[in-house]
Structure 1
Amino acid sequence: MSATATDLDELIALRVLAQGGRLAEPRRSAAVRSGSHASRWRGRGVDFRESRIYQAGDDIRHMDWRLTARSGRAHTKVFEEEREQGLLLAVDFNPGMRFGTRKRFKSVQAGRAAALLAWLAADGGDRVGLIGFGGGIGGEVKPAGGRRGVLRVLRALRDWDAAADPGLLAPWSSVMPRIRRLLRPGMRLVVLSDGFDADPAAWSPLAQLAARHDIAAVLLRDALEMAPPPPGRYALSSGGVKQTLDFSDAHLRAEWPRHFSAARDRVRAESLRIGVRVLELDTDADLKRTLAPLLARSRVVTGIA
């Protein structure tokens, strides 16, 4: 177990915490693999569901001509698609994530949260995929099922964390085209980030995705970002740049938490506007308790916290 680097053995061990739990059903799509559940999405698919009165915008190719002729009113056929439920994780490796003063770095906690969600999804029969962004990371793990699929995700989390360049930034908008390409119908998306690089250009494409998918943003935070340390001079490093801050200065102490909360407040406000759920995850928080809104009700499981 490491406080500053993602440890593969710890990510694998999180499977114990996932036992007895599962991801909650998506709010927008009830799609699951093999058609064992019907999708709430309607479109041309494998099973005819019903015929209804024609509405403006309906595809004329789906017209039910026999019922139209019998009733004298235009009817269209509605099909029920089988859609495969899955989970796509988008994890932020920007320099700001390599920070933490309570138990572990934000980047390490993000990796742990991603691993727990991956295990829960796989145990529920879902496929799991991963996208990394920031810190020069541009890797992808295509969605796959089972233990092997999860292990590919966990190895990527470990490898990308080790390879991330502390001098390279990437905004949220830069990863949206890749998310759109991998996020298939019926899948849900969880973005794990501290939100500091959530730029205005990201909200429009994210809103388009949120209209069709269940999306959550897990915002990583550290105690030092919410309150300044005791008065004194402290040496800090960010993005490879070292500096000394004097927290005896009253103005600095007042502005310090405002700087960090402003970024999270913007993410919360925009997410609420477009229908994306937001959870906040501290570096020393209990994973299962904090991620509970994403999980289905299940028996309490003791284990790794």
Structure 2
Amino acid sequence: MSEALSAPGIALRADPLIALRRRVLSAETPPVLAALPGGFATRRKGHGLEVADMREYVAGDDIRHLDRGTTARTGRLHIREFQEERDRVTLLVADFRPAMLWGVRRAFRSVAAAEALVLIGWNVIESGGRVGMMALGQGAPVVVPPAGRVRGMLNVIGGLVRAHEAALADMAAGQGGDPSLDAALSRADRLVPSGSEIVIASGFDVPGPGLADRLNALARRRVPRLVMIRDGQDLPRGVYPIVTRDGQRLRVALGGGAEAKDSTAAPVQTVAGHSALVLDAGAEIEATARRIAAAFPAERAA
């Protein structure tokens, strides 16, 4: 890969994506409300496999949950409390088609899409859920099956990095164009079970005639959520060389400024009949994290 394609904001690197976990952990979120009527804030405890807390035994506790090690060290009976089992499964869909491989400010739209999905993915992992990934490009999609814990999220990040490197290499070689988004999403419903969440980060270029039908079909048994990645800054006034989809080379005069559209003016837009959170690829990651935290509230226990 050329040096230009290895520059920050163009290449996708694993370390910055892993570091986004700190932003999720440090986010100030309200306590999770109980699943029971009344809306009281409670800790979610249950009979899962992960230990949530350790405390002294009180009359009525289930003696099967006694912790022998702590009891032996302290000389007093202690029991384990476990995390409630919640099988939240989320498929992160990253659009790395050629139309996403550009940007005029901080990062390519493809990089911003990956960052947004990773922020959402870390949130799901910290909630006790499982995360998988599908990256769309010119060829067959790159798929990482859903898995939980930090290792599952690291697998997703590795898949994103590999898929983005392949997309940049294809672009540099001048291979192909954008497959339609509706066709690229044809496998999404087979990768996760019913009731799962499917988060699609894309510019929604070349949607294809069947995108609305595809999203409606997903919505019957799953929960599609859309994140639209835009670059809210027009190019400076000047004459620019461009290449059209059919390979024709042109020079186009563009005058930015008055006609520029600020992506923050419309935080939510409609895509194929579904609401989409709008994110600016040129915005700093702190601003993106705040927008995502508001749109995808955490479900961690208090």
| TM-score normalised by L of structure 2 | 0.66
The question of 1:229 aligning with 2:236 is answered yes
Aligned to 1:100, the other structure's residue is in SS state coil
- Contact persistence 1:101–1:223 (CA under 8 A): no
Alignment match, 2:129: 126
Conserved? CA contact 2:129–2:148, under 8 Å: yes
What does the per-residue CA deviation read over 1:186-216, in whole Å, with 9 as the maximum and x for residues that have no partner? 2111101111021121221210221333221
Q: What is the CA distance between 1:182 and its match in structure 2?
A: 1.1
> How far apart in 1 are the matches of 2:117 and 2:99?
18
Please report how far the alpha carbon of residue 93 of structure 1 lies from its aligned counterpart in structure 2 after TM superposition.
1.1
- The answer for the alignment partner of 2:157 in structure 1 is 154
Amino acid at match of 2:129: D
Shift of 1:228: 4.8
Q: Which range moved further: 94-103 or 237-246?
A: 237-246
Matches within 5 A, 1:218-297: 218-224=227-233, 227-230=234-237, 232-236=238-242, 243-247=249-253, 268-271=269-272, 273=273, 276-285=274-283, 286-296=287-297
Give the deviation of 1:136 after TM superposition. 2.1
User: Deviation per CA, 1:10-64, whole angstroms, max 9, x where unpaired?
Assistant: 1111111111458x99xxxxxx9x998xxxxxxxxxxxxxxxxxxxxxxxxxxxx
Q: Give distance in 2, aligned partners of 1:203 and 1:35.
A: 41
Deviation at 1:281, TM superposition (A): 1.1
Corresponding pairs, count? 231
Take 1:176 and 1:198, find their aligned partners in 2: how far apart are those partners? 10
CA RMSD of aligned residues (A): 3.6
Q: Which residue of 2 aligns with 1:6?
A: 12
Distance 2:159 2:146 in 1: 13
Per-residue CA deviation, residues 225-253 of structure 1 (Å, 9 max, x unaligned), is: xx4531x21234677968453326x7xx7
Shift of 1:183: 2.6
- When residues 218 and 20 of structure 1 are mapped into structure 2, their CA distance, relative to the original with a 3 A threshold, is same
Quick one: which amino acid aligns to residue 146 of structure 1?
A: R
Report the Cα offset of residue 298 of structure 1. Answer: 9.0
SS of aligned partner of 1:2? coil
Q: Name the residue aligned to 1:114.
A: 117
| Per-residue Cα deviation, 1:43-91 (whole angstroms, up to 9, x for no partner) | xxxxxxxxxxxxxxxxxxxxxxxxxxxxxxxxxxxxxxx9831110111
Residues in 2 aligned to 1:9 and 1:199: alpha-carbon distance in whole angstroms = 35
- Distance of 2:246 and 2:288 partners within structure 1: 29
Cα offset for 1:149? 0.6
Distance in 2, matches of 1:179 and 1:298, equals 24
2:206 to 192, 197, 215: 197
Kindly indicate whether the alpha-carbon contact (under 8 Å) linking 2:21 and 2:119 is maintained by their aligned counterparts in 1. Answer: yes
The one-letter amino acid paired with 1:218 is V
- State whether structure 2 residue 149 is matched by structure 1 residue 140: no
Gaps of 5+ in 2: 1-6, 33-43, 49-84
Change in CA separation of 1:147 and 1:4 when aligned onto 2, cut-off 3 Å: same
Identity over aligned pairs, percent: 30
Q: What SS class does the counterpart of residue 134 from structure 2 fall into? A: strand
1:208 corresponds to which letter in structure 2?
A
Q: 1:85 to 1:142 in 2, by over 3 A?
A: same
SS at match of 1:87: strand
Alpha-carbon distance, 1:269 to partner: 4.0
Name the structure 1 match of 2:99: 96
User: Where do 5+ consecutive residues of structure 1 fail to align?
Assistant: 26-31, 37-81, 300-305
Q: Tell me, in whole angstroms, the C-alpha distance in 2 between the residues paired with 1:120 and 1:174.
A: 29
Deviates more, 1:1-10 or 1:95-104: 1-10
Q: What is the CA–CA distance in structure 1 between the aligned matches of 2:113 and 2:281, rounded to whole Å?
A: 8
